[in-house]
Structure 1
Amino acid sequence: MMYWLSVLIFLPLSGALLIVLAWHSNVVMARRAVLLFSVAELLIALGLWWFADPGSDGYMYIVRASWIPSMGIQFLLGMDGLSLLLVLLTALLIPIAILVSWHSVKYHWPVFAALLLAIEAGIMGVFLALDLILFYVFWELMLVPMYFLIGLWGHERRLYAAYKFFLFTLTGSLLMLVSILGLYFIHGEQTGIYTFDYFALLHTDLPDTTGMWLMLGFFAAFAVKIPVFPVHSWLPDAHTEAPTAGSIILAGLLLKTGTYGLLRFCLPLFPEDSLEFAPFAMALGIVGILYGAFLALVQEDIKRLIAYSSISHLGFVVLGIYAWNQESLHGAMILILAHGVTTSAMFAIVGMLEERSHTRLLSRLGGLLLPMPRLGTMLLLFTLSAMGMPGLANFVGEFLVLAGVYQISASFAIAGAMGIVAGAIYLLWMYQRAMLGEVNENPAWRDLDLRELSVLAILAILVLWLGLYPAPFLDYLQSPTDIIIELNTVVTTGMEDASH
């Protein structure tokens, strides 16, 4: 089964190349091909999930092959419980983004389809790569197709948003590259073995100040992608101007690569420095929670409102990661999945509304629950989930994060809870203005068709599953969580022994 990890990366790349070369002028064949390739990718991911053992320690699948041996660069892929769930999320959201765009994308469909598959390959590589240079290659591979996706199929200010997205993320990526090279040379000087192997670099002995600077290089790249305040300003513009598929991929997947990077690289590679940095990172998480919530309160554009809500919700993830205990880490990981599903669904619904009304302004909507009861009901479900309603996806993650954070700092937990209250206010306000009140007499209003309803129903099932029975997901997250907690215990014990 291990070689299927490579297929997860090269299948969408092959599909993108085939679509561009064979069906660059055939919209119908391009649509069918991209859907076929994305569904095949989903079936492979489901197969890996079916055969995976949630009780196994460490990595369930590993692929290792020499790539550039003179520099110690390998084609090294691995899948543990965390990467498995994120691979499943990626494989699910790409076909959903395709189906949502079936009629909304009006031109250059073959190029659009190829870019979606290229993004999928890059994201799969990020979640699977365990050679740091290979990880960096896939990290950059995500950037280019998304830039074109926003720049070519976005709205009025799409070029501005695409440039801003590109420059912010590229700057963070370059800082991470410097840290990767620093880690490579320090490890080589200590051991005589120059390698980018993740497992070898875990045992690098870093000087005090050097370790902190290298960790900050990684953190900068991941903070931009999450995004963490104050390097967040690219996100509302990118979401507002991106096509619906772009917003789904941004919210559901690209932002998750940043949180994944903190869990996979920052904490394990730099445990002492991350522990020292944790109070500051938790404070940034709190600022993001409250800042995103309060700015969402004043948005007229429904898409921009959801974008600021993403900043707020991902602040909870950062808070949970750096609280660094079992409850908070489990909550952060579950919230990564829940946010990916819930926010992707909300962006999909906004795209469906925009197709019908050609507006996203709340002041021009209203009373839509009567002419569109199916859409209104679906939006209510996902709005309640985003609010943290018990029984739905986000509640489990937010509850576990706050329970874990309370063990570290009651004041941080109270501040986080205030963010949930603010979230309930702006989300209910959004729903009330869009769905209730006076009926809009726009004759273009029509309810969800079978394709749209099927897409949202799949996401609704996941929201209910995560909210009502999260145990299967937590089983897969137990081993990655235990490894990170063990690092914390070792570092804390070492600090206590040194103080004595």
Structure 2
Amino acid sequence: MSFPWLSLLGVLPLLGAAVLMMVKGERAKSLGMVFSLATLVLGVVIAIQYAAGERFSVQLPWIEAFGANYALGLDGISLTMVLLTVVLTPFVLLASWDTVDADDRWNAHVYFALVLVLESLSLFVFLSTDVLLFYLFFEATLIPMYFLLGGFGGARRGYAAIKFLLFGLAGGLVMLAAVIGLYVVSIRELGRPTFLLSDLAALDLDGSLSRWLFLGFFIAFALKAPMVPAHTWLPDAAEHGTPGTSTLMVGILDKIGTFGMIRFCLELFPEASRWASPVIVVLALISIIYGALAAVGQKDIMRLIAFTSISHFGFIVLGIFAFTSVSMTGATFYMFNHAFSTAVLFLVAGFLVQRRGTQDLRAFGGVQKVAPVLAGLFLMGGLSSLALPGFSSFVSEFMVIAGSYARMPLVAGLSTVAMVLSALYILLTYQRTMTGPVTPQIARTFAADGSSDLNGREKWAIAPLLIIILAFGVFPKPMLDIIEPAVQTTMQQVDMADPATPIAKGSN
């Protein structure tokens, strides 16, 4: 039996969470960082081995009466999600080192433990190749996020946590009906129950039943992503959660939705995916433009960042359901890049809010004069969010639009409106908060000698994320080489070929 690399990767942060519940104070934080960094190292080791040609999988009987297996596997798409999870987590913990201490209801060790639990469950979601196993971990991720939202954050954190939970449970209930439907279909088609993704993907599912099952999965993933009109829980959660919680929610948890669309909707229900794609593409376009327009009008900085993410998720869904190898590769890379650019925005905005004591954009002005490092890092995160050339987000957004144009030029053209709007809301936000004369409130908040600028720990929490963004903006090939073979496999499963256009030919 080979070494259980994937199982160890998922269990390691869960083990860390158990250890943290037995210690408190600074020691608990340090141990939390140790376990998150160990998981990061293990994830990088697995990625290096994968790039060298090693393939990882495990399949053990679990509930034989149901045909369920403990089955984990790794391909280029799931590896991309694993990497963003293991990289993002330790920097969120580092950025949250002091912010959770101010909460009078929960101890910091509980926050760190919940983050590690969320990391563990998310890793198992991305690695699961058994539908029932995936469903259980998919639902389980609601638990740590509910407590992270409800236990830490603003005055209405309880409301935000309940709203998040209700939306998540509603999506899970719909998916459960579809999972049961797959169980029945497997018995009918194979003469035995199975939840293995490989077995179910080999079935020739079409007709009305396939479409109903597809909708069960897609609705759950659209609620998780989220897409308009099922998006309303995200701005509330971002507004009332801590910056670290919001980063994990948008950077990792919501990616489960778009990952699930590729892994389960497209691969299990190719005919239904093609059937539903026109409506889904329209919803994606609405999300792109609506999210950007809503961001322009926000007065709360955390809600603004949340609405920008709704727009970005629209681009990801558009890339998936445009059914070209360029757009789908771009969508997968977009998930990776969005996690880091949004993390920079949320975390730096959190540092700013922590100092000023309010999230109202109108309460700021002239910050760059008293905290130039903070202002500069916020600008870098904003430029990445608006997909400026030189940042990794530009590569993925260009690929989504170019790949989509090859099949649906009108939709791709309309989606570029959001690029103009993104420049508007990012630059206006920077102008209102960072430039101009220093307001009396900001002058009192920040020391004149700059001592209230970012400290060393805060810089270390942000700098590596920006390095990743810039490195893959200049040289994205390593990530694209990992993603492209898995995308080609998915394209074959959906039975779609690239349109015969110069864009598609040149990309191949």
Scaled by the length of structure 2, the TM-score of the pair is 0.94
Contact 1:354 1:360 in 2 (8 A): yes
201-210 or 408-417, which moves further after superposition? 201-210
Q: Which amino acid aligns with 1:46?
A: V
Distance (whole Å) between structure 2 residues aligned to residue 364 and residue 245 of structure 1: 22
- For residue 60 of structure 1, the aligned residue among 48, 51, 55 is 55
Return the alpha-carbon distance in structure 1 between the equivalents of residues 13 and 493 of structure 2. 36
Does the Cα contact within 8 Å between 1:289 and 1:416 map onto a contact in 2?
yes
Displacement after TM superposition at 1:188 (Å): 1.0
User: Matches of 2:182 and 2:64 in 1, distance apart?
Assistant: 18
Q: What is the distance in 1 between the residues matched to 2:195 and 2:320?
A: 25
Distance 1:420 1:132 in 2: 37
**Aligned residues, how many?**
487
Q: Which residue of 1 aligns with 2:449?
A: none
Q: Which residue of 1 aligns with 2:30?
A: 32
**Secondary structure, in 3 states, of the residue corresponding to 1:206?**
coil
The answer for the alignment partner of 1:437 in structure 2 is: 436
Q: What is the DSSP-based 3-state SS (H/G/I as helix, E as strand, rest coil) of the residue aligned with 1:38?
A: helix
Matched, 1:324 2:330: no
Letter in 2 for 1:464: L
One-letter amino acid matched to 1:209: S
In structure 2, C-alpha distance between the alignment counterparts of 1:206 and 1:265, rounded to whole Å: 13
Given that 1:271 and 1:491 are in contact with CA atoms closer than 8 Å, whether structure 2 keeps it comes out as no
Identify the match of residue 469 of structure 2 among 449, 463, 468: 463
2:126 counterpart of 1:131: no
Contact 2:295 2:305 in 1 (8 A): yes
Percent of matched pairs sharing the same residue: 39
For the residues of structure 2 that align with 1:251 and 1:105, how far apart are their CA atoms?
19
Q: Is the 8 A contact 1:236 1:304 kept in 2?
A: yes
Question: How far apart in 2 are the matches of 1:11 and 1:459?
Answer: 23
* SS of residue in 2 equivalent to 1:443: helix
* AA matched with 1:171: A
Provide the rounded CA distance (Å) in 2 between the counterparts of 1:95 and 1:346: 17
- Quote the residue 1:498 is aligned against: none
Per-residue deviation at 1:269?
0.3
* 3-state SS of paired residue (2:433): helix
Question: In the alignment, what sits opposite 1:14?
Answer: 15
- Give, as a single letter, the amino acid of the residue that structure 1 aligns with 2:124: G
Q: Quick one: distance in 2 between partners of 1:492 and 1:455? A: 41
Bigger mean CA deviation after superposition, 59-68 or 173-182: 59-68
Q: Which residue identity lines up with residue 357 of structure 1 in the other structure?
A: R
2:47 corresponds to which residue? Answer: 49
The residue matched to 2:444 in structure 1 has which SS? Answer: coil
Question: How many angstroms does 1:487 deviate by?
Answer: 2.5
Matched with 2:71 is: 76
Aligned equivalent of 1:263:
262
SS across alignment from 1:105 = helix
Q: Is the 8 A contact 2:13 2:35 kept in 1?
A: yes
Corresponding position of 1:273: 272
Residue 165 of structure 1 corresponds to 164
The 2-side partners of 1:182 and 1:226 are apart by: 23
Task: Answer yes or no: is the 8 Å Cα contact 1:2–1:63 preserved in 2.
Answer: no
1:102 aligns with 2:97: yes
Q: How does 1:410-489 map to 2 (within 5 A)?
A: 410-441=409-440, 442-445=443-446, 446-489=452-495
State the partner residue of 1:496. Answer: none
Q: Supply the AA of the counterpart residue of 1:45.
A: G
Deviation at residue 379 of structure 1 after TM alignment: 1.1
Alpha carbons of structure 1 residues 33 and 405: separation in structure 2 relative to 1, 3 Å: same
1:484 Cα shift?
1.6
Check whether the contact 2:491–2:497 (CA below 8 A) recurs between aligned residues: no
CA offsets 1:415-471 (integer angstroms, 9 cap, x no match): 110011111111111111111012134333211111111111101101101211111
d(CA) in 2 for partners of 1:491, 1:167: 39
Q: Which amino acid aligns with 1:208?
A: G
For 2:149 and 2:311, locate their aligned partners in 1 and report how far apart those are by CA, in whole Å. 23
Are 1:298 and 2:297 matched, yes or no? Answer: yes
Give the deviation of 1:53 after TM superposition: 2.6
Q: Residue 288 of structure 2 aligns to a residue in which SS?
A: helix
Q: Distance in 2 between matches of 1:31 and 1:471?
A: 36
CA distance in 2, matches of 1:423, 1:89: 23
Amino acid in structure 2 at the alignment position of 1:383:
G
**1:409 & 1:257 partners in 2: Cα distance?**
26
Q: How many Å separate the matches in 2 of 1:138 and 1:187? A: 21
Trace 1:484-499 onto structure 2 (pairs within 5 A).
Answer: 484-489=490-495
| Contact 1:289–1:316 (CA under 8 A) maintained in structure 2 | yes
The answer to whether the Cα contact below 8 Å between 2:324 and 2:498 also exists between their aligned partners in 1 is no
Residue pair 1:126, 1:135 contacting (<8 A) in 2 also: yes
Bigger shift: 181-190 or 220-229? 181-190
Name the structure 2 match of 1:5.
6
Give CA deviations for 1:13-39 in whole Å, capped at 9, x if unaligned.
12212221x21xx21221111111111
1:340-419 matches, within 5 Å, as 340-419=339-418
What residue identity is the alignment partner of 1:30?
A
Deviations along 1:45-66, one digit per CA (max 9) or x if unpaired, are 0110111136x5xx92101111
Distance in 2 between residues matched to 1:18 and 1:362, nearest whole Å: 40
**Do 2:387 and 2:397's aligned partners in 1 also have CA atoms closer than 8 Å?**
yes
Deviation at 1:207, TM superposition (A): 4.5
Equivalent position of 1:497 in the other structure: none
Q: TM-score, normalized by length of structure 1?
A: 0.95
- Partner secondary structure for residue 52 of structure 1: helix
Equivalent residue, structure 1, for 2:139: 140
Kept in 2: contact 1:2–1:61 (CA 8 A): no
Report how far residue 2 of structure 1 moved: 5.4
479-488 or 244-253: bigger deviation: 479-488
Equivalent AA in structure 2 for residue 461 of structure 1: I
Offset from partner CA, 1:309-354 (integer Å, 9 cap, x none): 0000110000010001011111111111111000011000011011
Q: Secondary structure of the equivalent of 1:455?
A: helix
Is the 8 Å Cα contact of residues 91 and 461 (structure 2) preserved in structure 1? yes
Q: Distance in 1 between matches of 2:176 and 2:472?
A: 36
CA distance in 2, matches of 1:229, 1:2: 43
CA RMSD of aligned residues (A): 1.5
DSSP-derived class of the 2:445 partner: coil
The alignment status of 1:226 with 2:225, answered yes or no, reads yes
How far apart, in 2, do the equivalents of 1:390 and 1:261 lie?
29
Residue 321 of structure 2 corresponds to residue 315 of structure 1: no
Q: Do 1:2 and 1:62's aligned partners in 2 also have CA atoms closer than 8 Å? A: no
